[in-house]
Amino acid sequence: MSPELIILCLALACSPMASGEETRVENPALPGIPEGVTLGMNIKDLLKMRPKAKPFDLGAALGEKPAPRPDELAKGSHLLMEKIEHEGFFSAGVYGLKDGRCVAFGMEGTHAREEFVQKRAEMVSRLVSLLGPNFERHLRRKYFKDASYLAPVFLWKGKERSVALTVTSEYPGVTFERGTLQLNVWSKGDEGLESAFEKDVDQVLLATLFTPLENEIRNAPSKKAPGP
């Protein structure tokens, strides 16, 4: 499982959202999210829906302290992680708990290039259809082995929750063999992913990385977003 799932991470704002767009962001029906997972659900219900999710603690993983016991998950901040077995966009999930309730969750999947390009186009176009075109554009640093790169982030901010999609995109003259999709959702008042955004981003680089993604949005078949 990717170490980056430990950090529920997800800059340069576009035009602010109108109230109608904020309402669309609150719609819980996001593609790829495991059935039954919602913000605000208690730990008992979360584990009922995701029985394979296990507590993760960095200190415990490093052998510096015992792993948290189930009865300790109702107080303080904790992470649960799981491997997702079924085929789809995502193969791993992480759930952020605060005082026994889910305040954030993230799903991640890595795919070979040909499959990834198709999945990326589908995911981006579906989210724009669902949440609207008024997203913020950001970059966040991703790590792979001994190297790092900047990945584009689509960010939708609502009154009660924020949704962010991080994807691998093409640098000039660089062809990636595998690409990653990461979808994160967090509640208002939670730290969320915004602290991981790159600061003072070069506008040329931002445009370069987003150009192929925005082309995919324009070329995607038109779909009517559900809900009001």
pLDDT tens sequence across 16-54: 334 566 778 887 678 888 888 999 999 999 999 999 998
Which residues, in sequence order, are CB contacts of 142 under 8 Å at separation 6+? 4, 148, 149, 150, 151, 166, 168, 180
Confidence of residue 63 (pLDDT cuts 50, 70, 90): low
Residue 194 in contact with residue 10, Cβ under 8 Å? yes
- Inform me whether the pLDDT recorded for 202 exceeds 70: yes
Tell me what percent of the residues of the chain surpass a pLDDT of 70: 80
Question: Which pLDDT score, from 0 to 100, does residue 218 have?
Answer: 80
Short-list 8, 227, 196, 3, CA closest to 102 = 8
| Residue 215 vs residue 64, higher pLDDT | 215
Range with the lowest mean pLDDT among 1-10, 34-43, 133-142? 1-10
Confidence of residue 58 (pLDDT cuts 50, 70, 90): low
pLDDT tens sequence across 142-164: 887 777 889 999 999 999 999 99
Which residues, in sequence order, are CB contacts of 174 under 8 Å at separation 6+? none
| Residue 67 vs residue 140, higher pLDDT | 140
pLDDT tens sequence across 67-95: 777 778 889 988 999 998 776 889 999 99
Q: pTM of the full predicted structure?
A: 0.81
Confidence of residue 220 (pLDDT cuts 50, 70, 90): low
